[in-house]
Structure formats: structure tokens, C-alpha cells
Structure 1
Amino acid sequence: MEWFESWFDTPYYHLLYSNRDYTEAENFITKLTKELQLPTSSTIIDLACGKGRHSVFLNKLGYEVIGLDLSKQSIEHNKQFENETLHFKVHDMRDAIDSKPVDAVFNLFTSFGYFDNEKDDKSVFQSVYNSLKPDGFFVLDYLSEEFVRETLVPEMEVHREGIDFNITKKIEGRHIIKDIRFEADGKPFHFFEKVKLHTLETINSYATECGFERVKIWGDYQLSEFNAEKSPRCINLFKKK
């Protein structure tokens, strides 16, 4: 199994990241949909939706939403939120998306860059492109390479519900690697995360090769202008030509 297949499907992954700011995420989604001027009749795919927080909020805003994720446990959890305009499916983002053409695809909070093979990275863009209507939007919310290199904290300890997560980070070549060790239920655990430090140029080359045009880059969840050295995020807006 790939690292993300095993790690993302454990309860410990969700526990470690349980402090995520829902208010910030909802404000970001609200700003983003207004910026894109997406009418509430639009259909949006939340690609790599996790436990569905963005999908559910988008649906509350009035959109028809399809949440897709590789984690069977996450999708099983999300089924409780389903209604006539909100659906969840297990899906590998490298594969073709089985749906009618949609108005937008959102890939949020660094849910890309996990694959070692460049062919897999490109297949994600092609899959998204094929799923969109003409002039449809693809939002890729990614880490900011230079900012990550400048602000890397090599060691930290995170406490969650009686568990001490010991985390180390390092950069090896084009990857940032996060090593995660902890004890739970009397047993030691070891997981890691490995994400490519894609450059702006590389991401854009994947997009243009598939037929996208990059129309905007934002640098944070307030949709500020992107600055390579100072921006904590690299939020790419692509449009299907």
C-alpha cells in the first residue's frame, strides 16, 4: 500500500489534524465561490474530500456536490450527510471521474503531490479536465514551495486526547517528509507523509499540457495576491479552455 492509503484510513490521522479551523475553511469557501461567480445551480466535485467538511458546507451554500476520496472509512463516515444534492464516493484521483460534466473541481488543503511517478500527477490533471464542462474551473490549493523551505520546523510534539505525536520534518530532494511516531492502546505506531515540492512552473506545465489556462494564483485563504517568499499557500485557479 502507498503511505497515504494506510495513514489516511486510520483514526489517528483524523485525530492529529482535528484542530483544523472550520471557520477559516468556511470563510475561504465562501470567498472562493463568490470570486468564481458560481451560481448555486452549479455542480462541484470536492476531490480528496476527506471527512467531507468542505463538501457539506458547499452543499449548504446551495451547490450540488460530489465528494470523492480514496479512504473508504472517510466515505463511510460521510454517507450520513448525503441528500439529493450531496453524494460521496470512494475514488482514486488518478482515475477517470464517473459523473456528468461539472462546473468546478476543488482540490483543497494540499491533497495533491503524493505520487512518486510524474505520470500519476499528470493523470490527476487529465481526469479533472475531462470531468469539467467547457470554461469549468479547477482550484488546486497547494503548499507554497519557497515558504515551506523558509519556515520548516524540524521537530515538534502534538498532544491530542492523551496521545503524544512526535513529528519530525525534513526536505529530501523535491519532497518534504513528515515522520510521525506515537503510542496508542499500548502499541507503538509509525507513519509518514511525503509530498512533492512542486514549483509553480511544474504545476502550470501539467495544467497546460491537458488544456487548462491558469488565470489566477492566490497566496492565502483570504485570497490575497500570491508572493513566492511570503505566501503560505499557492492556490491555483485554472480554467478549461
Structure 2
Amino acid sequence: MSEPRFTLLIPSYNTGPILRRTIEAALTTSLPVTVVIDGSTDGSDTDLEDLDDRLIVHRLPENRGKGSAVLHGIRLAAEDGFTHALAMDADGQHPTDSVEKFVAIGRRHPEAAVFGSPVFDDSAPALRVNGRKLSNFWANLETLGWGIDDSLFGMRLYPIQPLIRVLEETRFARRFDFDPEVAVRLCWHGVPLINLPTPVRYIDPEDGGVSQFRYLRDNTLLTWMHLRLFAGFLARAPWLFMRGNNPLLHLSPSQAPPSA
């Protein structure tokens, strides 16, 4: 197998000034950085190319959703010879000092997806911390316990070709449903999964923090998604029962550090 090549992939939509700070932090890592501007209208992508020659910026003409932005980015990354993409949110919630930990696991196990398992601090809203438990329950039911610690956390190292395959097999997973749906579909495809406890912080609006999460809209989308995925699970259940467990599950901690 050829040596894996990694890029740090940051999709962004109207992230404001914090985007530049996020990219500057990302550029302190060893990885080239790919940013996909998903039809932003707030001017946050102005003059980004001046930051560093390792930075690649792609702009979509209109907002298509996180999943569409990621798919656009990984297709172009694959054309440039990258084998893995470490997805990271543009809003400063994900720590760049965890990047090398993801990459180290990816080098040892290039066949695997490495999913961040969030370790929350006091900045995390209780509604967001507790609300994700329902999605996690359904994701693990739909994969027969393949080992998804958190179905919604966005800092993940993906092998690019399997991610392209699962996105091309569905017209969904293009917006807020991206993270949980591709998690389930990668497990259906038998991609080994390793979880990595990863700190996450929620930044106050006064400090430039932004959120595109809309409670009613996005929870309705997740409910519809899990109805679809459960139907897909029922169709696949005999094969999922026979194939066995995630072969790399033992490399994940049995439990992430306590969260808020």
C-alpha cells in the first residue's frame, strides 16, 4: 500500500472573522489545508489565499450544505493525490493540537476512519450535550454496535475513497445530516472505526462564535434521516449480523473521559 497523504479539510458557511483564526491555527499543523467556502455571503473568505502557500481555497457559488462542501473538497483532494481528509469545523470548536493524534492513528491504520469522541467543557450547552444521545443510540442500533461513540461530532479523519462511495450512493447527507449519515453508511460498508477522545469548546458570540444549528429544522432533518437509515438497516440486517464486529474496536477507549 502506498504511503497515505493527508489534508486538513475545513468547510465554511458564513463563519465570520473566526474563520481566519481557525485557518491560522490549522496552518500551524504539519498538514496542507483545504477550505471549501460553501456559498458564503459575509465576506469571511476575503484574502484567505494570502495566509500561506499550503492553503487551498475552493468556492462554491451557492450554499449547498456541509456534506456537499465536503464532497466537493474530497473529490478535488483525491485528484491531487490525497488519500485521507481530516474534517474540521470552521467555527473554532475543534482543537488543532489534536490533529497530529488523528494523523498518527491514520498512518498506523490507513484503512480506518478515526472519529472524534467529544470531551465537553463547561462551555457546552446542556441541550446540545444531552440531545445528541438519541442520535447516538439510533446510529449504533443501525450499525449493530459497530462502535460510533458520537454520531454528530465533526472532527473526523476519513479515508477519502470510501467516503466518496458512501456519499455518491445517496442524495442525502448533504446538510446537517452529513455527519451521522456518513458514519452509519461507512459502518455498513465495513470501514473499520477508531474513536479518539477530543476536546471541544463552544465559543461565545461575543468572542466571534457562530452556529448554523437550528433546533427545529435540524432535529426534523435528523428524525427523517434516522427513519430512512432504520429502513436501510432492516434490509441489511441479515448481512450485518453475519459479518462480525468492527475489527479495530479494541483500539478505541471503552469510554471517553467524562463529559459535561
TM-score, normalized by length of structure 2? Answer: 0.28
Higher relative contact order (CA 8 A, sep 6+): 2
TM-score, normalized by length of structure 1? Answer: 0.29
